[in-house]
Amino acid sequence: MTKIHELDTPVVLIDLDRVEANLKRAQDYADAHGMKLRPHIKTHKLPQFARRQMELGAIGITCQKIGEAEVMVEAGISDILLPYNILGEPKLKRLLALARRASLKVTADSATTIDGYSRTFAGSGLTLPVLVECDTGGGRVGVQTPEAAVALARHIAASEGLRFAGLMTYPAKGMVAEANAWLERAVALLDEAGLKPEIVSTGGTPDLWRSKDNRAATEYRPGTYIYLDRFEVKEGVGGFEDCALTVLATVVSRPTDDRAVLDTGSKSLTSDTLGLQGFGRIAEYPDAVIVSLSEEHGVVDLSRSATKPEVGEMVRIVPNHVCPVTNLFDEVTFVRGDDVIETVPVAARGKVA
């Protein structure tokens, strides 16, 4: 059997035992607290992992873009939420074609988006479930008040080819209580308006272990939990021993005693720092700091590391943020311990439209 040290670098390694443990831990927590999981596949982009998430009890999956959903439907997965404003005739035609093959739900935070859905689905013989996206503190997209959510829900309910299905939010990290209060107010107003939401969807791996406190939510959309990363470790979601994705790299230069250079630059590691020092954690040299990235080089400061790597040595890096790293590689390699199991294509890689 091929061993990890026999691989060419840079390469993404996925520890299958850690993946399984992470998935089971989250599903068990959700089951214990009566929360439905709808995992976000943007982290792994792999149909085999999406299927495993559903085998363990997930009610469906979340895809950010139509391209991802198309890959998953082709792989036989048929219950998908698309939490993104879908605009433009090309995308709307693709959405309708996909809805003929799978059970889709979408979101909207404007009448313009809703009108596009209605124009596309009216007379199609299909009814599209639409959730109102709500800004409960994240400061990205979404209606700004519960009252605005009710107004859009009314617009959806009155639109041909559509059905109001509920609310969706991606709350700011650490704002579970605030998001819950916002959603509870919106649900109460919708109930008064005769528009009881079937679904209230929230998410975010950093607050996964607090999701039971969002009493208004009916489903949760974690993404990074399948692999974890350096940021999620900082947030207390797990430890480095739980991180399932690492980037295997080779030391290609030691220009000085305190500097090493890896064959993993910005085309292999994300440039996201997320408030952390450096661009990933080197497992074998945790006191070393990846201080800069050019396209194909990662520069490492070894000044605080008691031991130092040699030229030709391989190291494993836990990225700050795994999701962008997944999208940088055509393939990932499944491993157990030091054994290579198989290399698989990242099926939904690059599907950003």
| DSSP letter for each residue of 91-153 | HHHHHHHHHTTSEEEEEESSHHHHHHHHHHHTTTT--EEEEEEE-SS--SSSBSSHHHHHHHH
Kindly state whether residue 352 falls inside one of the protein's structural domains.
no
Of 193, 226, 259, the position where a domain reaches its end is 226
Same-domain status, 166 and 206:
yes
Listing DSSP states for 23-41 in one string gives HHHHHHHHHHTT-EE--BT
pLDDT in tens, 142-157: 999 999 999 999 999 9
Same-domain status, 284 and 199:
no
Phi, psi of 175 (to 5 degrees): -115, 40
Same-domain status, 138 and 63:
yes
The two tokens of residue 301 are 């400061």
pLDDT in tens, 29-61: 999 999 999 999 999 999 999 999 999 999 999
Same-domain status, 50 and 91:
yes
Same-domain status, 326 and 248:
yes
Residues contacting residue 158 through CB under 8 Å, at least 6 positions apart: none
Q: What is the domain count for the chain?
A: 2
Task: Please give the Cα distance from 142 to 296 (Å, whole number).
Answer: 38
Alpha carbon 118 to chain centroid, angstroms: 28
Task: Please give the Cα distance from 181 to 1 (Å, whole number).
Answer: 54
- Section 84-108 average pLDDT: 98
Helix (H) or strand (E) holding 331: strand 331-336
Same-domain status, 198 and 290:
no
Indicate the pLDDT class of residue 114, thresholds 50, 70 and 90.
Answer: very high
The two tokens of residue 133 are 């996206």
Tell me the average pLDDT of the chain: 97
Of 226, 249, 269, the position where a domain reaches its end is 226
- Section 95-122 average pLDDT: 98
pLDDT in tens, 237-280: 999 999 999 999 999 999 999 999 999 999 999 999 999 999 99
Of 226, 251, 277, the position where a domain reaches its end is 226
Same-domain status, 185 and 289:
no
Task: Please give the Cα distance from 198 to 166 (Å, whole number).
Answer: 5
DSSP annotation of 9? S
Domain of 249, in residue numbers: 4-11+235-345
Q: With CA atoms as reference, report the closest residue to 83 among 210, 171, 190.
A: 171
- Section 223-232 average pLDDT: 98
pLDDT in tens, 333-351: 999 999 999 999 999 999 9
Same-domain status, 178 and 29:
yes
Beta bridge partners of 334: 14, 342
pLDDT in tens, 172-190: 999 999 999 999 999 999 9
Burial 101-140 (b: 16+ CB within 10 A, else e): ebebbbbbbeeebbebbbebbeeeeeebbbbbbbbbbbee
CATH number at residue 66: 3.20.20.10
Q: What is the CA radius of gyration of the chain?
A: 22
The confidence score (pLDDT) of residue 67 equals: 98
Kindly state whether residue 351 falls inside one of the protein's structural domains.
no
The confidence score (pLDDT) of residue 290 equals: 98
Same-domain status, 54 and 173:
yes
**Do 171 and 179 touch, CB atoms closer than 8 A?**
yes
Same-domain status, 222 and 100:
yes
Please name the amino acid found at residue 59: I
Kindly state whether residue 353 falls inside one of the protein's structural domains.
no
pLDDT in tens, 273-301: 999 999 999 999 999 999 999 999 999 99
What pTM was computed for the model? Answer: 0.96
Q: Please name the residue that has the structure tokens 């990932």.
A: 332
The confidence score (pLDDT) of residue 182 equals: 97
Same-domain status, 207 and 269:
no
- Section 58-69 average pLDDT: 98
Work out the number of other CB atoms within 10 angstroms of the CB of residue 83. 21
Phi, psi of 9 (to 5 degrees): -120, 160
Helix (H) or strand (E) holding 300: strand 298-301
The confidence score (pLDDT) of residue 49 equals: 98
Tally the C-alpha atoms within 13 A of residue 166's C-alpha that lie toward its C-beta: 17
Same-domain status, 191 and 264:
no
Phi, psi of 121 (to 5 degrees): -95, -15
The confidence score (pLDDT) of residue 305 equals: 97
CATH number at residue 295: 2.40.37.20
Kindly state whether residue 350 falls inside one of the protein's structural domains.
no
